[in-house]
Structure 1
Amino acid sequence: MAEEGKVVRYFSRDFEWEELRDEVERNPKFGYHLFPFSLSLSSSSQVAADAEAWRSFHRRHSTGLFFKERRYLLKEFPELTALNDSIHVLEVGCGNGSTSLPILRAKQNVIVYACDCSQDALDKAGEMVASSNFPSIKRQFYPFLLDFSVNRFPDWLLCTACQKSSLEKQSLFTPDASGKAFIRLNGPSFLEAKCCIGGMDYVTLIFTLSAITFQRMSFVIAECMAVLKPGGLLLFRDYGLYDMTMLRFPPEQRVGFREYMRSDGTLSYFFSLDIVRKLFLGAGFIELELEYCCVLSVNHRSGKKMKRVWVHGKFQKPIVGSS
């Protein structure tokens, strides 16, 4: 279902991250980014404020034009279309559907479950999927409201009993609108009693983890681990240390170590490879890939060159009984 006749060319090694690091750390004007920071945003009131800031953000950008479809996604994570079997994907922090849409378009037998703390974002994601050139994908997309930074994923993704028994089989059921009963997929639409859908083959964290407080990141990653099937993959992409946007933040918007707050109250964290590795391996994941993507972007109007840095990672949930 991928668009025909279009070849995606994607470059991620336009410059060396180590050279950028040396350039930044030698420049006195960037010194304040390197200082230790002792204050914390871990209070429950601040976490609530973070979620409300993102809800307000999505209300302001309800047209959905702020986020472009992530066309590079399948090139960077070809695993999403490699399997012939039906697969279940959980997109954490789906926004307006810019990640869900290319996955749905590329594969007919994928079911995408997508959560966000903003109902406005979910509504827009549903509209984007419904208005795509592939009407059938509406039946493959199941958005649900959840502030995943403070709440556990619902049991219908993978219940506690099935987590304990390391359920690996693929389920053909999905929750109905009430979230309590289940409808058989690819078959008659009647309600069935089923404990859960059996877990996810993939979980995506695409520019999501950086939007919550650092103190809540381990909780979110542990929840992602819990709903993955054994052997399932977590696909990660987010802002990297010394990205252009980090260096643009003034000192007064620095609210933590490598953590910044925009004028609208939304957060942005910038990851080093060491921090990402510590977070995911600490949750029990196996590291498959972890690297900086360094892209030189040019403003054709002004001629200004901008050095963008993202972190790319793939992590696997251990298979039960494997060494």
Structure 2
Amino acid sequence: MKKAEYFSKDFEWDELRVEVENDPSLSYHLVPFEPSLSVAEEEEAESQPWNDFHHRHASGKFFKERRYLLQEFPELVGCEENSKVLEVGCGNGSTVLPILRGNEKVTVYACDCSTEALERVKETIYASNIVSIEHRFHTFCCDFSTSGFPSWLACNPCQANFEQTSDGRGKNESYLTDSSSLKESRCCIGGVDFVTLIFTLSALSLQRMPKSINECFSVMKPGGLLLFRDYGLYDMSMLRFEMDKKVGFREYMRSDGTRSYFFSLGTVKDLFLGAGFIELELEYCCVKSVNRRNGKSMRRVWVHGKFQKPI
């Protein structure tokens, strides 16, 4: 499939912003809204709906393979041999599959908070007949926004080398004493070269995002890349939410209990730079598509970002 189908500038985001902000019928999207639940209550309320969601969509037909992924993130193809990728929120494997197919040199560690999703992704990947898959694909159950990542990603003795220290002004630095010793360790994998956050962060409440991004930072090798794609502000799906579905500012709850946040570039920048990352790329993807059922044009907005952990 052509890249233009997925990542293009079919329209200007600022023109859409002006249109939305001047439409009285959409004014409720612009009004500040304080969440009614505490962080602990949010954690309890968010996990079960996603388990139920993956159970309902057990066939995997709900998702399409993200074939655009390697075009948007060519680093996943041109990386060094034995590079490690951590796919956070793998779902049924729509992100994992093109990575494993596109690069036989990488090892992918895929996690999800849903055991249903992990069963589906294993079925999908092992049915694909990818070369040496048994050595290059590993799954584990984890809700990185609550419990954090398991210690073997960067085991307890090694974890100290990945921890962030703050200078009190919101800036963070990381330290690694001996990367070669981590590679030889039998109790951990010594950190990952890439983290992919593809339509995962938006499923969390805004309150839980900083901790989640810090977790990603902590298990990455210095110089590693975090690859980000998620829903952008004023995306068509945001504008379809009714007023009673708002659970926070730019946060909405679907009828099945799952939630979605819609990102501005400023919010994404603040979140990732606040965790210590360096911004390499950050922009809106504005794509027009046509609904085959009714012929209506749809304006989709996604945020595309690349962030690096300092060396």
* TM-score (normalised: structure 2): 0.91
Deviations 1:84-137 (A, max 9, x none): 321000011000011000000111111100110111100000000000042532
Question: Is 1:238–1:271's contact at 8 Å kept on the other side of the alignment?
Answer: yes
Q: Does 1:230 align with 2:222?
A: yes
Aligned residue identity for 2:194: Y
SS state of the match for residue 260, structure 1? strand
> Counterpart in 2 of 1:58?
54
Displacement of 1:32: 0.2
> Counterpart in 1 of 2:173?
none
Displacement of 1:213: 1.1
Q: Give the 3 Å change call, closer, same or farther, for CA 240–146 of structure 1 in structure 2.
A: same
Question: Is 2:265–2:284's contact at 8 Å kept on the other side of the alignment?
Answer: yes
Q: Give the 3 Å change call, closer, same or farther, for CA 41–169 of structure 1 in structure 2.
A: farther
Q: Report 1:127-166 matches (<5 A).
A: 127-165=123-161, 166=176
Q: Give the 3 Å change call, closer, same or farther, for CA 7–293 of structure 1 in structure 2.
A: closer
Residue of 165, 177, 180 corresponding to 1:169:
180
After TM superposition, the structure 1 stretch with the greater mean CA deviation from structure 2, 62-71 or 297-306, is: 297-306
Q: Does 1:30 align with 2:32?
A: no
Displacement of 1:161: 2.7
Q: Please, what is the CA RMSD of the aligned residues? A: 1.6
Question: Is 1:70–1:98's contact at 8 Å kept on the other side of the alignment?
Answer: yes
Aligned residue identity for 1:168: S
Displacement of 1:160: 3.8
Residue of 295, 312, 319 corresponding to 2:287:
295
Identity of aligned residues (%): 62
Count of residues in Structure 1 that have an aligned counterpart in Structure 2: 295
Question: Is 1:271–1:311's contact at 8 Å kept on the other side of the alignment?
Answer: yes
**Distance (whole Å) between structure 1 residues aligned to residue 66 and residue 59 of structure 2:** 17
> Counterpart in 1 of 2:164?
none
Question: Is 1:41–1:47's contact at 8 Å kept on the other side of the alignment?
Answer: no
> Counterpart in 2 of 1:219?
211
**Distance (whole Å) between structure 1 residues aligned to residue 285 and residue 9 of structure 2:** 6
> Counterpart in 1 of 2:79?
83
Question: Is 2:84–2:193's contact at 8 Å kept on the other side of the alignment?
Answer: yes
> Counterpart in 2 of 1:307?
299
SS state of the match for residue 169, structure 1? helix
Residue of 276, 295, 303 corresponding to 2:268:
276
Displacement of 1:292: 0.2
Residue of 101, 108, 115 corresponding to 2:111:
115
Deviations 1:254-310 (A, max 9, x none): 010000000000000000000000000000100000000000011234220000000
**Distance (whole Å) between structure 1 residues aligned to residue 3 and residue 233 of structure 2:** 26
* Structure 1 gap segments, 5+ residues each: 1-5, 174-192
Aligned residue identity for 2:306: K
**Distance (whole Å) between structure 2 residues aligned to residue 89 and residue 267 of structure 1:** 26
Aligned residue identity for 2:287: V
**Distance (whole Å) between structure 2 residues aligned to residue 223 and residue 149 of structure 1:** 8
SS state of the match for residue 156, structure 1? helix
Residue of 250, 254, 264 corresponding to 1:262:
254
- More helix per residue: 1 or 2? 2
* TM-score (normalised: structure 1): 0.88
SS state of the match for residue 210, structure 2? helix
Question: Is 2:39–2:207's contact at 8 Å kept on the other side of the alignment?
Answer: no
Q: Give the 3 Å change call, closer, same or farther, for CA 157–310 of structure 1 in structure 2.
A: same
SS state of the match for residue 219, structure 1? helix
